[in-house]
A and B are shown apart, each in its own frame.
Chain A
Amino acid sequence: MIFVYKTGLRSVHRGANLLKFKKPLLIALFIFTTTSYQNCGQPMKAITGNNVSQSSLARFEAAKLTLEKNCNACHSVGGSASFLNLAAMSELEIISKGLIIPGKPNESKLIYRLHNSTPSVYNGNGQTSNMPPKGPIPSEDFLTLVNWITMIDSGANIPFLCNQNEAPDKLSATKLSKIQYFNSLKNFMSRSLGDVSTLQFLNTKNVLNRIPNDGGGAYTTGDNNFSASHSKVFFEIAEEVAMELTSSAQIAKTVSTYVGYEPGSCTYTNLDTLSPACRYAFVKNLLLRIYGRPVEENSLNSNNELEGFVNEFSQAGTTKIALENIIFRALVSPQFIFHPYVDILPGGTVTVYRLSSYAIARRLSLIYNNSFPDENLLKLAATKDLIEESAFLSALSYASDKMAPSINQFTKEWLRLDKLPNYSFQSHNKFKLLTTGINPNEELRTSMITEVVDLVNYIRESNKTVKDLFTSNISLARTPDLMKIYNQATPAPNNISDTNAVRFPAGERGGLLTRAAMLFTGGHSENPIHRSIHIRNSLLCSKIADPPPNLSSEIIPPALDGVGTTRTLFHNKTSGPQCISCHSQINPIGFAFSKYNSFGMYQDIEPVFNAAGNLVNELPTDAKVDLQVAMGVNRQVDGGIELSQVLAETKDFKSCLVKNYYAYAHQLPEMPQSINSCAMKRMYQSLDADSSLQDFFKSSTVIRQFRFRKLE
């Protein structure tokens, strides 16, 4: 019972922040949890046994409908209790906010609030504590909610579930992302052309810019839309590459390279009269590299891929045209562009199949290297059974050792670094004051982005943890202007160690959130709202709804008045009754960074300008905030360093990071909605155990289910 009390206490604390519960509630809840539904009136057995055959998603959908039906009048945007938009919350959010405890309806605050006869003992204003105010919800609705909570896995207090022994996450045919397509093409061409000539060709043909951009999903990797633009551009590029590799200057090298990988009985002296053995060798070796798997010869799918391609020699007028057509055809093939995981083997349950070693290698390479497998990985797949743990770990280690470019891309997208604001208000006197001695140019913006990317890489490569990422006082600034912003005399060394690292002045800066790229607004004034929304969206996965249309004119930042600090101006602007319900969740996070100006420079004193743009005062900055309402944490912090430390420990942050990286690495079309994922559970456990950042990234693939595919 004591454990139950403590668990309930922690959850109620978090929920209480949202519902503005006060201390008496804890007493009330203690009484309630010890008496366990004394006033419920619902038989528990009947409750828990209801609809047990439903899937977890169906149960949640039913629960959401019930919440919408009974609670939306107040708990929705524009409602009197819009601070808790129940219908818009995911199951994970409802759990992480402490509104329910998985598997324990009798300890869940949501059920407690729906119980219709408990007298009010905590708010002291005579209102009933029960919801909804108009009266009890129908008993069948109540049962739906209780059933939903009862059936959620309550194990380990982890916000992700792994209910089945071998239930692989979904593995669908996915279009190569722009960067995957480019890298795979580049690596393919480099095999015969060499790196220099390949890059020259790709630059001359402007290949990277011609590939349609990815977009629309949570991450660019998850855009599975194959549009007319893709077919048009991929057609053109495949044709150009095929022509280049079979041009008079390159054709001999192309043939010798691919035949040479495994020539068998092939020998030739004249390209015009390639023997059948040479033709087969060329096609097999070429397709192994473009498909990322051996070409099918006597296919289980009645699909003799090898013969189909070798026939190009008899259909074309010359060897050159045949080779050109073979390369072209392979580069627009589904096996290259969509790389479906058809190379599976029996070995799981009836519907679960083992991936072939090549499929596993291909999957690892696309996740960690954004490219099809290289020669070493192909060799590993050819010689080892990657379904086996030790062989798989070797392949994982090899692929993940080269994950830096992929993680760099993830960092930029996760933290929206590509959306760093442009400069604005450059003629304002405050802008000029803040940029005294530094050059507000593109190089500075780029160096801010680079520093954060380098920081993540440094933490990863030095086997430090996510917590380190949010507390490190090591600077990665290497350009004079960014060093000036950081008040730093020497640039960060190329190979940073604990002994040679350049560190920020004590108490000024520490962790990811206090880096310039996370603070920069582009203009003369910092914007605590934007800073907070950025953190909420990217790091807490907790989006605040847009202001209602009738308040759209209110989103303009407050004008300088010559009297207050930026914090004061924003506080005054957002204190109205129409604003405060949302801004009580937003402002504290942004205000915690009040000691950093719009360029991210540390400031104890803030220069105060009037509306005419004149410096009229200097006021001390205040970065003390209470995180109860904004983050559901019963903590007061003073500044960005402390907030970073607290944030990195929260369940919301950890589950958000898990979802973000999982969406990026596994090419999901959108952020994961379901909490049912063995991979995400493993990733969360990795974070909870303070594993290294490198191991965290590897944890998304290390589970055994990664090597299997479920086929409906």
Chain B
Amino acid sequence: MKLTKQSRRMFLQGVGTSLPIPFLASMLPRTVWAQTAEIPRRFISILSNYDIGRNGAWFPRMSSHSMNNLPPPSQVHVVGGSHHNIYHQALRDFVPTNSSNLSMVAGTALSPFVESINILRGLDFIFRYGHDNSQVLGGLPSSSDTRGKLKLIPTIDHFLNNHKSFNPKGLPINFWGPAGHIESWSYAATADTATKAASSYYISGIYNALFSNGTFPEAGESAKPHPKMDVLSRVLEDYKRVRNSRNISSDDKLVLDNAVDKWSDVQKGLLQSTTASCKHKSLVKMGNVASANESAAVGKVVADMITAAILCDTGRVFTIGTGPIGGLFDGENFEHGTTSHQPFSLVNGKYQWQRMAERQNGVIRHILAPLVQNLSSVIDPSNGKSFLYNSLIMNSYENGQVHGYLSHPVMLIGNAGGKINSGQYIDYGDKSKPANGADEFTSTLGSENFSNNYQGVLYNRLLVTILQAMGLSAADYEDNSLESQVYGRSDLGAMNVNLSNLGGYGYVTRGDLSIVGNYTIDQSLKKGLPKYRLSTFKDPLPLLLRN
């Protein structure tokens, strides 16, 4: 985390500097913090409706590698048992400087924060993607086919928000998105009547919902300084004394000067805990969420507003969808069939997938990066860590590669209060199981364009991982009362064995053959599903959760 003085000042001007958070339990002295059972966590999903793209654009690459030869992570994590080994590598290896590109989609905006980021590769859906958008949060594959026919379960954002251990105050969930799709990312409106929701297309609507139409009280008491503030002052003195020693060379002085700068930054970060505020009235009411990918100014307001809501503790779950959905795309009418389904067609000298990646990059630059910057610069007194450390941000996109279900890219940011390890590029693909041509994208567009594609692990395990990272246990979310047959079929032999005891989360065994369509049967069931170890369905992903 590197903040310039100017950027810190600007943030504090925007979010407020004078009033402390008035009501957080975490403001108690440190010895009392340790006695509190759980650190308040936040779950934020920022999901791009820039529809279909190319998964490879989300993965880190060395500069000399082409799209067709993405460098895989090089370190091996031996999982043991019958599970295949997992390859991973520090993201910093791919991003040697803060001006290096993290990926085509992420660009450089998140590079200073890679130690707080995980990029996941090799997470496979077994359903074909539909256009319900909610699938990446555990929703149904296709709203038109399934809604009203399958038993509904909430997406994980709703599940978290409704769970008292995660959201003890019962704060409303906040989801914002393009007109007509506001709630589609987090399927709820019809099924989840219990949830109090603040939803809007316009920022003003969100603002009013979050802050009681601007009447939210701002008052409070002084915050306690971080326990190590004073000690760090003496550490800095230690550095300066050694730096000024006559036994130090000019090279040594440079090394120690740089270290003093870095320790000063840490101390300034600790200092934030005495000035962070939930002041929100200075926020400008402007624009809508969808336009945030076009406008840095709008994106910054969204980021600041989420930050203020977290500091004021008016929300624990934020779900943001942003994208054109039938609107303009790069000055042209967005048409799914020609734009998304033809990723290798050229428009103005660029492939369609490249143009979509650029728009996805806009979401990251304008909303996600300022949000990460904000949250990393403010210390949560509940444990002396940054709010970013105590939160989990999920970034992904709608439909993968032309509805292909393999290796859906996901970026996680933050440490969920210390429950998530970060800084890794993790590939869950099984290197012994090449899967080129196993989904619609690679089979219809040429598998030669997609080398390094392997069968991975079930995407549902990410949902389980997130739920556990946010403090829930398996007993909180597992439901064994649903169907005990894959798609309701009784003719699948061993595949159905013990399914009723799977637990886990999401739609793996639930459904009816007649309503999921032949495509799913052909592409997912026949080719994909038998290869997966359904017994791992309820297991969190390796490497992510901290003991």
Contact = CB atoms under 8 A, between A and B. Distances in A.
Contacts of A341: 247
B262 interface: yes
Nearest to B96: A216
A282 B1 CA distance: 35
Interface string B218-249: 00000000001011101101110111111111
B262 A231 contact: yes
Interface residues of B, number: 51
Contacts of A375: none
B547 A204 contact: yes
B231 A334 contact: no
Contact of B96 (A172, A215, A235, A441): A215
B241 A303 contact: yes
Contacts of A325: 228, 231
A231 B265 contact: yes
B87 to A, nearest CB: 7
Max chain A CB contacts within 10 Å: which of B72, B112, B238?
B238
A204 B419 CA distance: 11
Interface stretch (A79-87, A420-428, A504-512): A420-428
Given A231-B263, A442-B76, A301 B247 contact: yes
A51 interface: no
Contacts of B237: 308
A442 B78 contact: yes
Interface stretch (B252-260, B322-330, B338-346, B524-532): B252-260
Contact of A235 (B93, B250, B259, B266): B266
How big is the A interface, by class? 35 or more
Interface in B46-90: 72, 74-76, 78, 85, 87, 90
Among A172, A233, A300, A441, which residue has the most Cβ atoms of chain B within 10 A? A172
Nearest to A215: B93
Contacts of A173: 248, 251-252, 255-256
B238 A422 contact: no
B115 interface: yes
A344 B246 CA distance: 11
B282 interface: no
A235 B259 CA distance: 12
Contacts of B263: 231, 332
A342 B90 contact: no
B70 to A, nearest CB: 12
B332 to A, nearest CB: 32
Contact of B235 (A213, A226, A300, A329): A329
Contacts of A338: 252, 255-256, 259
A328 B248 contact: no
B266 A226 contact: no
A419 interface: yes
A228 B265 contact: yes
Interface string A170-186: 10111100000000000
B242 A308 contact: no
Given A212-B115, A228-B262, A328-B228, A423 B431 contact: yes
Nearest to A229: B115
Given A232-B115, A340-B252, A422-B87, A213 B76 contact: no
A301 B245 contact: yes
Interface string A231-257: 111010001000000000000000000
A557 interface: no
Nearest to A303: B241
A418 interface: yes
Nearest to B259: A226
B546 A315 contact: no
Given A228-B112, A440-B432, A442-B78, A334 B262 contact: no
Given A301-B245, A334-B239, A231 B432 contact: no
B231 A301 contact: no
A233 B115 contact: yes
B76 A333 contact: no
B92 interface: yes
Nearest to A224: B255
A230 B262 contact: yes
Contacts of B256: 173, 334, 338, 340
B2 interface: yes
Contacts of B115: 212, 229, 232-233
A175 B432 CA distance: 40
A213 B246 CA distance: 32
Given A173-B256, A231-B262, A329-B238, A342 B248 contact: yes
Contacts of A167: none
A174 B258 CA distance: 12
A227 B2 CA distance: 9
A275 interface: no
Contact of B255 (A172, A212, A216, A418): A172
B249 A332 contact: no
A140 interface: no
B248 A232 contact: no
Contact of B92 (A209, A213, A232, A344): A213
B446 interface: no
B1 A232 contact: yes
B434 A426 contact: yes
Interface in B88-137: 90, 92-93, 96, 112, 115
Given A334-B256, A426-B434, 18 more contacts: A213-B90, A213-B92, A215-B92, A215-B96, A226-B258, A227-B262, A232-B1, A235-B266, A239-B228, A334-B259, A338-B252, A338-B255, A342-B247, A343-B247, A344-B247, A418-B74, A711-B247, A711-B249
19 contacts: A172-B249, A173-B251, A212-B115, A228-B2, A229-B92, A231-B265, A232-B115, A235-B232, A301-B244, A305-B238, A333-B235, A333-B239, A334-B242, A335-B242, A418-B74, A423-B432, A426-B432, A442-B76, A712-B249
Interface of B: 1-2, 72, 74-76, 78, 85, 87, 90, 92-93, 96, 112, 115, 228, 230-232, 234-235, 237-239, 241-252, 255-256, 258-259, 262-263, 265-266, 421, 423, 431-432, 434, 546-547
7 closest A-B pairs by beta carbon, nearest first, are A231-B262, A342-B247, A173-B252, A213-B90, A301-B245, A229-B115, A442-B85
